[in-house]
Amino acid sequence: MIPEQIALTELERDALTEIVNIGVSRAASSLRKMIGEQVLLSVPSIEVVSHHRAARLISEREVADLIAVRQDFTGPFSGRALLIFPETNSLELVRAVTGGELSAAEVVEMEQEALAETGNVILNSCLATMANMLKRSLTMTIPEVLRGDGAKLFEVDEAGSEEGLVLFLYIDFAVRMRDIRGYIAMLMDIPSLATLKELLDEFIASVVGDDA
Amino acid sequence: MSVTVMIVDDSKLARIVAAKALTQLQPEWGKVEAGSAREALDVIDAQAVDIALIDFNMSETDGLELAAELRAMRPDMPIAIITANIQDEIIARAREVGAAFIAKPVTGEGLSGFLSGAALKLKTTRA
Amino acid sequence: MPEADAGPPPGAQAAPAQAPLPNADRAAGSALNDNQLRAVLAAAGASGSWDWDIAGDRLFVDISFAELYGLPEADLSQGFPTATFFRAIHPEDRARIRIAVAGMLAGSSLFSKEFRVCTPDGKVLWMHGRGQSHLDADDEPVRFTGLLVDVTERKRTEERLRIAQSAGGVGTFEYSDGFATVSVSTEFCSLLGLHPADRLPVRTINAVVSEGYLPLIPEGVQEALPDTLSGEFLIRRGEDGELRWIARRGEVQRDAEGSGYRLLGVIYDVTTAKRQESALRELAETLEQRVAAEVAERRHAEEALRQAQKMEAVGQLTGGIAHDFNNLLTIIIGSIDMATRRVAPSADPRVRRSLEQAMKGAERAAALTHRLLAFSRRQPLDPRAVNVRDLLEGMSDLLSRTIAESIAITIEARGSGQAVWMVEADPHQLENAILNLAVNARDAMPGGGTLSISARNATFTGGEGDMPAGDYVAIEVADDGIGMDEDTLAKVFDPFFTTKDVGKGTGLGLSMVYGFAKQSGGGIDIASQPGAGTRVVLHLPRCHGGPAEDHAYHPAAAEHGRPSETILVVEDDDDVRRYAVNALCDLGYRVLEAPDGHAAIDLLRGAEKKVDLLVTDVVMPRMSGSELARYAREAMSGLGVLYVSGYPHDAIMHEGRLGEGVDLLSKPFTMQALAAKVRELLDR
């Protein structure tokens, strides 16, 4: 089912997991600096799936309406990164990142803008770190705040007009003290994946050397 | 010594965070904010600005382009690019236009090195 | 306690707090005293610890680590080249550990890997290396510290557990509060029919649970969490949509500070057990239903039996009373008859009138006992083939006279496209029954109405009430009068039950009809509702023969006897016997009498003259009338026999009807009836 050229070897998968780990560690560190609380991260989950299944995975994750900050990235590998959390968490997150300096009314007024900036910081630090690890550069769009279900956030058509495969990657995060939870998700197109695979092999070669 | 810092960021939250860090380090300094490159140029025209803190990721004109324009106008002005996009390439491009690089989210620690350097530079330039 | 020892909660990694460990970590270790530190680490299950100085590119390890790797103890304080870290790692594991460490050196926050270490003495041990990076202000990692824990034993256990789980079809899961996904085993996914994955969204898992069941993975308010995860769930498998039962067992582990929790558990399929259980339960439930139905049916049958027994008992009683009563009436009527004959024409006319009144009263009493007998089904019937249509037509005159003018009468006899069948019944009793029903109908319509009498063919296939399968003619008498309620309806066949005012009815009408129908091999149905009239249907069995010769309509003329004709009267009741003897003497016969069978036989044997006719009671002590008749005929051939009875019995009854060739005179009888019957027999 998965085309030969994009099937990741175990080492490549390890390498990708590690690179994502580095990226989200950096992102979590950024978030921690913004809200001054410990941020818990799960082990990244990486799957190569169809567009359709990716949409299902997203829509199955959450019952509640979602809010997301989305950034598309282009470069040697292209795709879409999202910071997603239940809409009910939104104001709490805004309150957290604004450090209690704003009135309730201001928090509401600032919501959209504050979410965009938070997503910008988290997704940028994650993607930039990954780009650095792979020694390539990525171009990132201005963050966009979206509301809706999973399929809408990824602009994936559940009817399945898009047959292609994607790399679907997500990491749960939770801020216990603030009752904030969410996840970072990334979708990468398969043509980009072929490139990513090459980049991963380069990375492995540089790190592992003769032990590969 | 009167110093005015211009904070350019399309995010109000980012401007608040930067201004807060700045106030911690240099409570006496004046602050002026701009929400875009165009606004920043208007501010420069209208008043004296000594230091610029510029967000990279902005629509229309990005922070590096604005930094290059300012550099052309004010070769000696201390400029810092502030962004969470910590790619080596961005850092290198910031250096090319003679701007410092400060990672987002901005903290006092992250900002202090640049500000003390800038203060020193202003002192020598004015002297 | 070294920082590295305090790991984040399992299943989660923490972004470390700003590198709190000073470079003097090692100094702290040495200050603590190496032996003490080793003891603490060993107690914690550690097989060694390391401190990778990223900036200085040097690896520092403790003595356990050095022993494990076979490093010279003397060099501990100087540290080792960082590549040393990988030296003892099994070649097959080395590449992935290099990748993981590269991640740590680049800023990844948590290191948690299992790998094999080859010890200097040639052993291969499984190690779990857990570590974390320490970052500077710019988020640059400066140190990477960690612990090695020997998990060789655990690995074996895990392997055994894995085999046990897959063999036993047990799926495992672990969920950290706050995450949207659950860490699961492959078996877990396949049990639920889900795409195999290491982590599944909570919602994906809970979506397979059927409506009405709690979620498989409880979320949200932790106060509502149970202490254990025991539960059973009906699920619809993701892949094939099959309905299965899944059991869940496990534990809820709360964080020490109580702010969060973890769920650790297993699931397994219990469909077979559940199905057996439900099959058993269903069996038990339907058993109850079946028993209930059986009991209801039985109760119904018992009720019917009780009713039948009641009717039977009442029948016995009334039959017995009627018998005795008939004897008395025979005497009364006979005596009045006799007295009337002997009253001189010149006598006081009041005497004659009184006798006539007495006779009328006695006749009414006789009619009453006759009806009682009809109900008790002990009246002698004389069934023959009867054309119902003709019978109904013949009754129309009588009916019009009996029924008030305010009531319209319709009489209709039709088959379904064919003539109404013949029935086998006693025509007199049938007329009586119809008349009875018609009178009841009339009384139910005090304000006038329509009385409909009809006859039609009906075929029963069995199962219609208590009627045996077969062809019947249904004779229906319906009115549109006041009707009856259910309570009344339930009692209408009871003798002496009447809805009529005291003195207006005997309460024997319907019960007599009932008795007649039963005795004729048919049945009776009644339907009524208050205000909606009453409909009574009499079913009589079809007769396949043609109409018999109507010999009942040839009344014998009252004839006197001759002294040459000898009649033997046998009757145990002295009064009745005396009456009969007197009556026959009066008629001019020579009469012999005997109180019982034995005396009668003696008389016959010793008789000088031929006896022409035996008139005997049916029911007598010691010898019954039929026995006597048999012996008497042996003793004297050509002897005629006339039975007299107020209580005909099996001896002369064949299924409730007179046997062939048996002549019966019902008590009470008038002298005229006796004379006619005796004459008829003697002349035959």
User: If you average pLDDT over every residue of chain A, what do you get?
Assistant: 80
- Are A124 and B57 in contact (CB < 8 Å)? yes
User: Which residues 174-203 of C have a C-beta within 8 angstroms of B?
Assistant: none
Same domain, C619 and C648: yes
How far is Cα B103 from Cα C249, in angstroms, rounded to an integer?
48
Same domain, C503 and C580: no
Which tokens in the block code for residue C137? 């202000």
Same domain, C297 and C311: yes
Chain C environment of A208 (Cβ under 8 Å)? 94-95, 98-99
Residue B110, min C-alpha distance to chain C (Å): 7
Complex-level ipTM? 0.82
Residue A166, min C-alpha distance to chain B (Å): 24
Task: Give the residue from C174, C155, C90, C156 showing the smallest Cα distance to C124.
Answer: C90
DSSP letters spanning C586-603: HHT-EEEEESSHHHHHHH
3 state SS of C80 = strand
Query: What is the distance between the terminal CA atoms of chain A, rounded to a whole angstrom?
Result: 27
Q: Which residues of C169-193 are buried (b: 16+ CB within 10 A; e: fewer)?
A: ebbbbbbbbbbbbbbbbebbbbbbb
| pLDDT tops 60 at residue C651 | no
Is B113 in contact with B101 (CB distance < 8 Å)? no
- Are A98 and B59 in contact (CB < 8 Å)? no
H-only helix segments in C52-151: 63-69, 91-105
Query: What is the distance between the terminal CA atoms of chain C, rounded to a whole angstrom?
Result: 139
Same domain, C142 and C39: yes
* C165-189: average pLDDT: 85
Residue B99 pLDDT: 94
Which tokens in the block code for residue B33? 């904010």
Residue B67 pLDDT: 95
C74 CB within 8 Å of a chain B CB: no
B36 CB within 8 Å of a chain A CB: no
Residue C500 pLDDT: 58
How far is Cα B19 from Cα B31, in angstroms, rounded to an integer?
7
Residue C177 pLDDT: 79
User: Which residues 98-127 of A have a C-beta within 8 angstroms of B?
Assistant: 98-99, 101, 110, 113-114, 116-118, 120-125, 127
B8 pairs with which residues across the strands? B34, B54
User: Which residues 47-106 of B have a C-beta within 8 angstroms of A?
Assistant: 57-59, 83-90, 103-105
Q: Domain A4-206 adopts which CATH fold?
A: Chemotaxis protein chec (3.40.1550)
Is C421 in contact with C457 (CB distance < 8 Å)? yes
| pLDDT tops 70 at residue C241 | yes
C139 CB within 8 Å of a chain B CB: yes
Q: What is the per-residue pLDDT across C364-391, written as a single tens digit (0 to 9) for each?
A: 788 777 766 666 655 666 677 888 888 8
| pLDDT tops 50 at residue C7 | no
Residue C328 pLDDT: 84
Q: Check whether the bond before C668 is cis (ω within 30° of 0).
A: yes
* Nearest-CB residue to B13 (from A30, A114, A128): A114
Same domain, C403 and C541: yes
DSSP letters spanning C30-49: HHH-HHHHHHHHHHTTEEEE
Which tokens in the block code for residue C292? 């209930």
Q: List the single best residue of B87, B104, B109, B111 to mutate versus C (max C Cβ within 10 A).
A: B109
Is C262 in contact with C12 (CB distance < 8 Å)? no
A4-8, B107-111, C261-265, C409-413: least confident range: A4-8
Q: List the single best residue of A87, A130, A211 to mutate versus C (max C Cβ within 10 A).
A: A211
Same domain, C502 and C639: no
| pLDDT tops 80 at residue A4 | no
* Nearest-CB residue to A183 (from C91, C139, C180): C180
Task: State the total domains in chain C.
Answer: 5
* C15-25: average pLDDT: 39
| pLDDT tops 80 at residue C2 | no
Chain A environment of B11 (Cβ under 8 Å)? 113-114, 116-117, 120
- Are C139 and B103 in contact (CB < 8 Å)? yes
How far is Cα C327 from Cα C645, in angstroms, rounded to an integer?
8
Residue B15 pLDDT: 92
Chain B environment of C137 (Cβ under 8 Å)? 107, 109-110
| pLDDT tops 80 at residue B64 | yes
- Are A207 and C98 in contact (CB < 8 Å)? yes
| Strand C653-654, strand A45-50: pairing | unpaired
Count CA within 13 A, CB hemisphere, residue C473: 28
Polymer length in residues for chain B:
127
Q: List the single best residue of A18, A45, A169, A204 to mutate versus C (max C Cβ within 10 A).
A: A18
Confidence bin at C5 (pLDDT 50/70/90):
very low
- Region of C181 (left: φ > 0; alpha: ψ -120 to 50; beta: rest) is beta
Same domain, C209 and C328: no
Residue B53 pLDDT: 96
Task: Give the residue from C87, C69, C77 showing the smallest Cα distance to C148.
Answer: C69
Select from C309, C343, C375 the last residue of a domain.
C375
A132 CB within 8 Å of a chain B CB: yes
Count CA within 13 A, CB hemisphere, residue B25: 23
- Are A101 and B104 in contact (CB < 8 Å)? no
DSSP single-letter state for residue C315: H
* B87: CATH: 3.40.50.2300
Number of B/C CB contacts below 8 angstroms equals 6
Same domain, C119 and C26: yes
Chains interfacing with A (3 or more CB pairs < 8 Å): B, C
Q: What is the per-residue pLDDT across C548-603, written as a single tens digit (0 to 9) for each?
A: 444 333 333 446 778 888 899 998 888 888 888 888 888 888 899 999 888 888 88
User: If you average pLDDT over every residue of chain C, what do you get?
Assistant: 79
Confidence bin at C253 (pLDDT 50/70/90):
confident
Same domain, C512 and C399: yes
Residue of A nearest to B14 (CA): A117
Please report, as a single letter, which amino acid is at residue C308.
A
Locate the domains of chain A by residue range. 4-206
* Nearest-CB residue to C99 (from A14, A53, A129): A14
Please report, as a single letter, which amino acid is at residue C335.
S
Beta strands in C65-169 (DSSP E): 110-118, 124-135, 141-150
Task: State the total domains in chain B.
Answer: 1
User: Which residues 86-125 of B have a C-beta within 8 angstroms of C?
Assistant: 103, 107, 109-110
- Are A142 and B58 in contact (CB < 8 Å)? yes
* C599: CATH: 3.40.50.2300
What are the residues whose beta carbons fall under 8 Å from the beta carbon of B89, sequence distance 6 or more?
A131, A137
Residue C550 pLDDT: 40
Residue B31 pLDDT: 94
- Domain assignment of residue B19, given as a range: 4-126
Chain C environment of A61 (Cβ under 8 Å)? 180-181, 201-204
Q: What is the per-residue pLDDT across C67-97, written as a single tens digit (0 to 9) for each?
A: 899 999 888 889 999 999 999 999 999 999 9
How far is Cα C107 from Cα C110, in angstroms, rounded to an integer?
9
Residue C221 pLDDT: 55
* C505-511: average pLDDT: 63
| pLDDT tops 70 at residue B110 | yes
How far is Cα C273 from Cα C345, in angstroms, rounded to an integer?
105
Q: What is the per-residue pLDDT across A141-167, written as a single tens digit (0 to 9) for each?
A: 988 898 877 667 766 544 444 556 777
Using H for helix, E for strand and C for coil, what is the string for C470-527? EEEEEEEEEECCCCCCHHHHHHCCCCCCCCCCCCCCCCCHHHHHHHHHHHCCCEEEEE
- Are A170 and C181 in contact (CB < 8 Å)? yes
- Region of C286 (left: φ > 0; alpha: ψ -120 to 50; beta: rest) is alpha
Instruction: Give C80 or A191, the one with higher predicted confidence.
Output: C80
- Radius of gyration of chain C from Cα atoms? 56
C95 CB within 8 Å of a chain A CB: yes
Residue B100, min C-alpha distance to chain A (Å): 18
| pLDDT tops 70 at residue B96 | yes
Same domain, C394 and C538: yes
Confidence bin at B55 (pLDDT 50/70/90):
very high
Q: What is the per-residue pLDDT across C407-441, written as a single tens digit (0 to 9) for each?
A: 888 888 765 567 888 888 888 788 888 888 888 88
- Domain assignment of residue C399, given as a range: 384-551
Residue A30, min C-alpha distance to chain B (Å): 6
Chain C environment of A176 (Cβ under 8 Å)? 178, 259-260
* C329: CATH: 1.10.287
How far is Cα C35 from Cα C43, in angstroms, rounded to an integer?
12
Chains interfacing with C (3 or more CB pairs < 8 Å): A, B
Distances (CA, A) of B98 to B65, B68, B92, B95: 12, 8, 10, 5
DSSP single-letter state for residue A74: E
Same domain, C56 and C139: yes
* C519: CATH: 3.30.565.10
Same domain, C167 and C210: yes
Q: What is the per-residue pLDDT across C301-359, written as a single tens digit (0 to 9) for each?
A: 777 777 767 766 776 677 677 777 888 888 888 888 888 878 877 888 888 888 888 88
Is C132 in contact with C110 (CB distance < 8 Å)? yes
Is A193 in contact with A6 (CB distance < 8 Å)? yes
